[in-house]
């Protein structure tokens, strides 16, 4: 729902005055519509990193970064984490409404029916080195799904989007667990039809013929909460990537695979692994948090405190608030991880008092505490970003669906060229 009120912005350029429409969103956000700017003036806007650029209008997720608000389809993240499940959150994001009991049953059945991988696809895992990063395996396998489940170009997808969404959401979890077993060398565990989404996930990850993994309800609940927290975050780097790739009418699998690559970077989803590496490094070096803070503030050093700062949140990330609480509860029983939690709490307390971080409004983000919870659940660090990916998948699909169902244009930014002006070509034998 986009509202364009009568309000106009005035732009004066080269003596010419231009009226630009002001677009107002349903939560009162304002944007200036510059889509005709170049045609009318010859100018474009320049916004490196897109900090001030709205690339689309969207009905999916609302964030107020100043006040620390996050809502999916109008529902508060706090309420969803407390009362919903990941599969229900998937349905909500994909369909713009909470499901009835019947719709929920049908969706769960669909997820169960599509949890297995084509056996030929399973063989692809053997081509990877045993220590391949699971994010690499995940991106490759999702891309390969376009070969195993063909005819998914964006136009024909409009009818089969629900089926393809269920297939992706279900199979990505199976792929993730197979990737982990590839790393450990243990036999893979097939999904079971009597388990729900998160139970199946934990069982496929941790069951082995010599370790009869026991499913504990609090762990299953924790995993649900973690995945809900990551399920969407409007136009972040990976979601924008999915939309941009999809805007060329590339198929959904290819678009999602590109999103996985974008998410892998340490400034984005890869930060959760980087946080754990950083906390471990602080511990190994004797627990001196101040040395790491000083490095992060030093402009001659590239080091940043992973898990702090956010493009949109200039307040405490609401996801970090939920995760911190969860982390304290779950780590109560995990004596071995107490020292890392203690370092994290001391680091956060010191950062929140430090003028450098305070003046730049740098608070803990979703990645700061999530890794500690993943670790308490038994996940190795190289699986942390994979968990973020699985959580974010319904959001990516919802955005892709929203884009292909609207009369979308191909995404194609412009640039201000700053290179050489026209050069004369010199034959190779005449060059000095």
- Please report, as ranges, the residues that interact with ligand CMC according to CB under 6 A: 49, 236, 267-269, 271, 296, 304-311, 360, 362, 365-367
Q: Which is nearer to ligand CMC, 80 or 296 (CB)?
A: 296
Q: Which is nearer to ligand CMC, 149 or 368 (CB)?
A: 368
Sheet order of strands, 30-32 included: 3-13, 16-24, 30-32
Q: Give the up-direction half-sphere exposure of residue 128: CA atoms within 13 A in the CB hemisphere.
A: 25
Query: If DSSP codes are grouped into helix, strand and coil, which group holds residue 126?
Result: helix
The DSSP symbol for 27 reads T
Q: Which is nearer to ligand CMC, 331 or 366 (CB)?
A: 366
Least Cβ distance, residue 173 to ligand CMC (angstroms)? 20
* Closest residue to ligand CMC: CB criterion: 309
Q: Which is nearer to ligand CMC, 80 or 293 (CB)?
A: 293
- In Å, how far are 47, 96, 203 from 373, measured between CA atoms? 37, 29, 17
Q: Please count the other Cβ atoms lying within 10 Å of the Cβ belonging to residue 8.
A: 13
Least Cβ distance, residue 310 to ligand CMC (angstroms)? 5
Start-end of H helices in 265-383: 271-284, 289-297, 318-331, 338-353, 355-359, 366-377
Least Cβ distance, residue 297 to ligand CMC (angstroms)? 7
Length of the chain: 432
Least Cβ distance, residue 158 to ligand CMC (angstroms)? 29
* DSSP string across 68-104: TEEEETTEEHHHHHHH--HHHHHHHHHHSSPPPHHHH
The β-bridge relationship of strands 16-24 and 61-64 is unpaired
Q: Which two tokens stand for residue 221?
A: 């609940």
Indicate which residues carry an active-site annotation. Answer: 310, 367
Helix axes 338-353 and 366-377, enclosed angle (nearest 10): 170
Distance of CA 300 to the CA centre of its chain: 30
Distance CA 271, CA 51 (A): 20
Q: Which is nearer to ligand CMC, 200 or 241 (CB)?
A: 241
* DSSP string across 372-416: HHHHHHT--GGGHHHHHHHHHHHHHHHHHHHHHHTTPPPP-----
Least Cβ distance, residue 315 to ligand CMC (angstroms)? 13
Q: Which is nearer to ligand CMC, 199 or 367 (CB)?
A: 367
SS3 helix, strand, coil % of the chain, rounded to 5? 55, 10, 35
Q: Which is nearer to ligand CMC, 149 or 292 (CB)?
A: 292
Of 383, 401, 397, 387, the C-alpha closest to 168 is 397
Least Cβ distance, residue 34 to ligand CMC (angstroms)? 22
Least Cβ distance, residue 135 to ligand CMC (angstroms)? 13
């Amino acid at each position: 729902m986009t509202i364009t009120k009568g309000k106009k912005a005035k732009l004066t350029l080269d003596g010419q005055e231009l009226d630009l429409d002001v677009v107002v969103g349903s939560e009162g956000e304002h944007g200036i519509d510059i889509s005709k700017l170049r045609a009318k003036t010859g100018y474009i806007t320049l916004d490196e990193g897109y900090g001030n650029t709205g690339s689309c209008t969207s009905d999916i997720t609302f964030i107020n970064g100043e006040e620390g608000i996050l809502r999916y389809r109008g529902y508060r993240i706090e309420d969803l984490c407390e009362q919903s499940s990941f599969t229900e959150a998937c349905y909500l994001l994909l369909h713009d409404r909470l499901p009835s009991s019947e719709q929920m049953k049908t969706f769960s059945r669909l997820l169960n029916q599509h949890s297995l991988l084509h056996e030929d696809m399973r063989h692809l895992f053997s081509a990877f080195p045993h220590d391949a990063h699971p994010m690499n395996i995940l991106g490759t396998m999702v891309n390969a799904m376009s070969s195993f489940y063909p005819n998914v170009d964006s136009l024909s997808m409009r009818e089969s989007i629900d089926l393809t969404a269920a297939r992706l959401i279900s199979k990505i979890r199976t792929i993730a667990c197979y990737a982990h077993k590839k790393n450990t060398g243990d036999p893979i565990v097939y999904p079971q039809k009597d388990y729900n989404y998160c139970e199946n996930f934990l069982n496929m990850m941790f069951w082995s013929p010599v370790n009869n993994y026991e499913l504990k309800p609090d762990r299953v609940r924790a995993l649900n909460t973690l995945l809900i927290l990551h399920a969407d975050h409007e136009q972040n780097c990976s979601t924008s990537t999915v939309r941009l790739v999809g805007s060329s009418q590339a198929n959904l699998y290819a678009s999602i695979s590109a999103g996985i690559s974008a998410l892998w970077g340490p400034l984005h989803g890869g930060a959760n692994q980087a946080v754990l590496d950083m906390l471990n490094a602080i511990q190994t070096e004797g627990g001196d948090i101040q040395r790491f803070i000083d490095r992060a503030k030093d402009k001659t050093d590239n080091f940043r405190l992973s898990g702090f700062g956010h493009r949109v949140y200039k307040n405490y990330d609401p996801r970090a608030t939920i995760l911190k609480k969860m982390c304290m509860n779950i780590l109560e029983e995990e004596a071995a991880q107490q020292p890392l939690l203690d370092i994290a709490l001391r680091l956060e307390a010191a950062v929140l008092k430090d003028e450098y971080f305070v003046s730049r409004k740098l608070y803990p983000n979703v990645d700061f505490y999530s890794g500690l919870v993943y670790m308490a659940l038994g996940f190795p660090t190289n699986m942390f970003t994979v968990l973020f990916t699985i959580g974010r998948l319904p959001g990516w699909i919802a955005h892709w669906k929203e884009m292909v169902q609207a009369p979308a244009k191909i995404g194609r930014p412009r640039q201000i060229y700053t290179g050489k002006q026209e050069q004369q070509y010199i034959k190779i034998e005449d060059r000095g």
